[in-house]
Amino acid sequence: MKKINAAIVGTGFIGPAHLEALRRLPNIEVVALCEVNIDLAREKAAILGIPNAYTFEEMLQNPDIDVVHICTPNFLHYSQSKAALLAGKHVVCEKPLATKIEEAEELVALAKEKGLVNAVHFNLRYYPMVRQMKTLRESGELGDIYSIMGSYLQDWLFLQTDYNWRLEPDKSGDSRAIADIGSHLLDLTEYVTGLKITEVMADFSTVHKTRLKPLKAIETYSGKILSPSDYEEVPINTEDHATVMLRFDNGNKGSVTVSQVNAGRKNRLNIEIAGSKSNFEWCSEKPNEMWIGKRETANQQLMKDPALFSMEAARLISFPGGHNEGFPDTSKQMFKEVYAAVREGKQPSAPSFPTFEDGLRELLICERIIESHRKQAWVKI
């Protein structure tokens, strides 16, 4: 079978995660890496074992590259995705798809016009237990949905000295916690329940009004103690914490809380869906377990096992029951579906994977949440 050649743009946390997932799939080869300048690209390519280093513009001119993975800071997603589509490349973009709704709409239209495969990396859909929750809901096991409660908690920005480009609106956009991790939770909520969010009421808080920005590249002092002279104090205008009340198209309600300043919570997404027949709860820190609550019979603890799952969910499982699968497997399973479409050469009429349209949807919800916080009022989606 002919190999599909891919290029990865950006080598922060998520770029190497894409690389690792792609290397676990047959007949896909990551042949190129791009960075902000050619020297850094060569350095990272050597470390990661990628044969070719390019600037972004040089990479687009290579006719042998079929797919481009955009893993750069948020403000570059729109321009780089657009350029890749115009160069005839299929695109897998990190979320958010863009920092402005108009830009995302343009990308959706351009991808449709070109007929190229387009995907946004909402990989949390690809935990097998998430897919199982979705299929159980579709089969009626949950019943009518009464309410939804979700949270996504982290602690990587807990200290005033914690710093990252995501704290700078010109690079990440007007929202941080909601756009960065809340988008995953909101996407998961609509995906699993089949409901659409129709209105939002949001309240943000910024715990650290100022932060101490390192004056040196983080890599140069990782693990070292800095002196006060190694920092500059900068104002912070994006949210550390947000609570959002939700109204859904079935007339019922929900709420989500996201925070990047909860000590001890490394990466904890939790969702609880209350229905007329059952209650489903799932947590990303225990991804191979799901709690099913009952009123008149015993509660259940479902463990990941392909023999016990729906066919749709079992397709996302690579190992037998009792062999845990986690975060790195979600990208592998998503890319398996995306690259099946790439092999066909066009976007499917009904894609199973999250697309640019899903990216636009989440950007729209996030923009309405920001608007709600500013107005301190309910806002329609």
pTM: 0.93
With 0-12 CB in 10 A as exposed, 13-18 as middle and 19+ as buried, what is 380? exposed
- Pairwise CA distance, residues 91 & 114, whole Å: 12
Evaluate the CA torsion angle 235, 237, 239, 243 in order and state its sign.
positive
pLDDT (0 to 100) of residue 223: 55
pLDDT (0 to 100) of residue 230: 84
Widest CA span in the chain: 65
- Pairwise CA distance, residues 25 & 313, whole Å: 19
Inter-axis angle of helices 327-344 and 14-23, to 10 degrees? 70
Nearest C-alpha neighbor of 84 from the set 94, 124, 165, 166: 94
- The per-residue pLDDT string of the chain (381 residues; one tens digit each, 9 = 90 and over) reads 799 999 999 999 999 999 999 999 999 999 999 999 999 999 999 999 999 999 999 999 999 999 999 999 999 999 999 999 999 999 999 999 999 999 999 999 999 999 999 999 999 999 999 999 999 999 999 999 999 999 999 999 999 999 988 999 888 888 999 999 999 999 999 999 999 999 999 999 999 999 999 887 655 445 556 677 888 999 999 999 999 999 999 999 999 999 999 999 999 999 999 999 999 999 999 999 999 999 999 999 999 999 999 999 999 999 999 999 999 999 999 999 999 999 999 999 999 999 999 999 999 999 999 999 999 999 999
Strands 145-153 and 268-275, by their bridges, are antiparallel
DSSP string, 135-196: HHHHTTSS-SEEEEEEEEE--TT-STT---GGG-HHHH-S-SHIIIIIHHHHHHHHHHH---
Q: Spell out the SS3 assignment of 91-137.
A: EEECCCCCCCHHHHHHHHHHHHHHCCCEEECCHHHHCHHHHHHHHHH
Inter-axis angle of helices 77-86 and 101-114, to 10 degrees? 20
Which residues have CB under 8 Å from 80's CB, separation 6+?
9, 56, 68, 70, 72
First to last CA, the chain: 45
